[in-house]
Amino acid sequence: MYNDILRFIREVFHEPEDFIPLHAPYFGGNEKKYLNDTIDSTFVSSVGAYVNRFEEMMATITGARYAIAISNGTTALQLSLVAAGVAPGDEVITQPLTFVATANAIVHAGAQPVFIDVDRDTMGLSPAALRTFLTEHAEITDGICRNKKTGHRIFACIPMHTFGFPCRIDEIATICEEYKLVLIEDSAESLGSYYKDVHTGNFGLMGTFSFNGNKTVTCGGGGAIITNDETLAKKLKHLSTTAKIPHAWEFAHDSVGYNFRMPNLNAALACAQLEQLPEILENKKQLAETYARHFDGQKISLVAAIPHAAPNHWLNTLLFPNKEEQQQFLKESNEGKVMTRPAWTLMNRLPMYAHCPHGDLSNAQWLEERLVNIPSSFRTGAAKPYTAS
């Protein structure tokens, strides 16, 4: 049924028979050199020159004043909530269409997720749905936002830039300010994405990133937090290194800290990857343009960015007319050795989160039944946009 699409994808990747992954890492720079440097230095753990260099590079790339190297994207979210002052029993608003790590990080920090619907065109948290929920359920007393039904403090909001597509984050930021909510952007998938010429992660108090093996650039595992608040940046770095007070030999700690610092080995790999980020982004943009031309005007559509948004094209996403066609394409493509994936199971349908409060989630459900991610790897030798015959 979908042989034409699968044939097209194979032509795009110049791969007539073998397996095509969804998103493979690309190592075309100084990865091995920097790893060898790190091994030779013997500083392979959480102290080393590449950790500092990584932080400087991330601050420059994102335009933030500070970047803190963290062990992975999940712990970056958890630590962001802790540093911001989350307390046990607090509620944190996020979206149901996200990777489970977003909700897990909220629980790890002692809070409870509240799931609010997404917009169909961004696949990210809907500012209209956010305002509707807060209008109906929130009240501000003594400068604190509380849920009128549960009585718990609504502490923060964590929107996610799904598959690298920026959501309407400026509108979300305005609502969060109005309701006294801490805004933390889950930018795990959006390194290199911009909204209104501002890099994602800069619209709230903090933004977090992931460098997992399937991301636009990777260091195997790793994360980062960016912020423009100097005091907060120092607190994040202190807490992430077991809250150890600097001293030449004594082991003194002044808080319950976390062993969340990125190792120097991972940072070395990350630095080599970040050096190639412009090349990788251009390569992936060309792939997205090739897909867009092919699916233009078809009943199976390719998700495009909203106005003023510049995505990093981490994953290219198709929308099918219904669930039956989505499932049939997933079956045919994966059986044909072309790796494709649906969206994640909505968080509110997972057993450990079924009890969590939520608003109307009809857009998230609509996307869950139609969305498919197709191969989006860096294409070696793809200096020019490829046009399939």
Residue 389 lies in a domain: no
Choose the final residue of a domain: 242, 275, 308: 275
Task: Examine the domain organization and report whether 271 and 281 are in the same domain.
Answer: no
Which residue, 285, 283, 340, 346, is CA-closest to 317? 340
Residue 297 lies in a domain: yes
Residue 213 lies in a domain: yes
Residue 311 lies in a domain: yes
Task: Examine the domain organization and report whether 363 and 340 are in the same domain.
Answer: yes
What is the tally of structural domains in the chain?
2
Q: Where residue 268 sits, what CATH number does that domain have?
A: 3.40.640.10
Q: Where residue 331 sits, what CATH number does that domain have?
A: 3.90.1150.10
Task: Examine the domain organization and report whether 228 and 294 are in the same domain.
Answer: no
Task: Examine the domain organization and report whether 300 and 260 are in the same domain.
Answer: no
Task: Examine the domain organization and report whether 232 and 314 are in the same domain.
Answer: no
Amino acid at 362: S
* Torsion angles phi and psi, residue 29, rounded to 5: -130, -130
Q: Averaged in consecutive runs of 10 residues, what is the pLDDT profile of the chain (389 residues)?
A: 95 96 97 96 90 98 98 98 97 98 98 98 98 97 95 98 98 98 98 98 98 95 97 97 90 94 96 98 98 95 98 98 98 98 97 96 98 96 45
**pTM to 2 decimals?**
0.95
Task: Examine the domain organization and report whether 173 and 219 are in the same domain.
Answer: yes
CA distance 56 to 66: 8
Task: Examine the domain organization and report whether 162 and 266 are in the same domain.
Answer: yes
Residue 382 lies in a domain: no
Rounded to whole angstroms, what are the CA distances from 149 to 42, 154, 219, 352? 55, 11, 44, 21
* Domain of residue 174, residue span: 31-275
Residue 328 lies in a domain: yes
Q: What is the pLDDT of residue 61?
A: 98
Going across the sheet that includes 194-195, the strands are: 198-199, 194-195, 309-310
Radius of gyration of the chain (CA): 21
Task: Examine the domain organization and report whether 188 and 314 are in the same domain.
Answer: no
Choose the final residue of a domain: 228, 260, 275: 275
Residue 346 lies in a domain: yes
* Torsion angles phi and psi, residue 362, rounded to 5: -65, -35
Residue by residue, DSSP assigns 72-102 as -HHHHHHHHHHHHT--TT-EEEE-SSS-HHH
Task: Examine the domain organization and report whether 308 and 362 are in the same domain.
Answer: yes
* Bridge-based pairing state of the strands 371-374 and 316-319: antiparallel
Which residue, 207, 172, 173, 213, is CA-closest to 190? 207
Q: Where in the chain does DSSP place strands (E)?
A: 66-70, 91-94, 112-115, 138-141, 144-147, 154-158, 182-186, 194-195, 198-199, 206-210, 223-227, 301-302, 309-310, 316-319, 341-342, 371-374
301 in Cβ contact with 318 (< 8 Å): yes
CA distance 181 to 278: 34
Q: What is the pLDDT of residue 77?
A: 98
Task: Examine the domain organization and report whether 314 and 366 are in the same domain.
Answer: yes
Which residue, 352, 338, 345, 312, is CA-closest to 12? 338
Task: Examine the domain organization and report whether 15 and 39 are in the same domain.
Answer: no
Choose the final residue of a domain: 218, 249, 275: 275
Task: Examine the domain organization and report whether 215 and 251 are in the same domain.
Answer: yes
CA distance 99 to 160: 9
Residue 380 lies in a domain: no
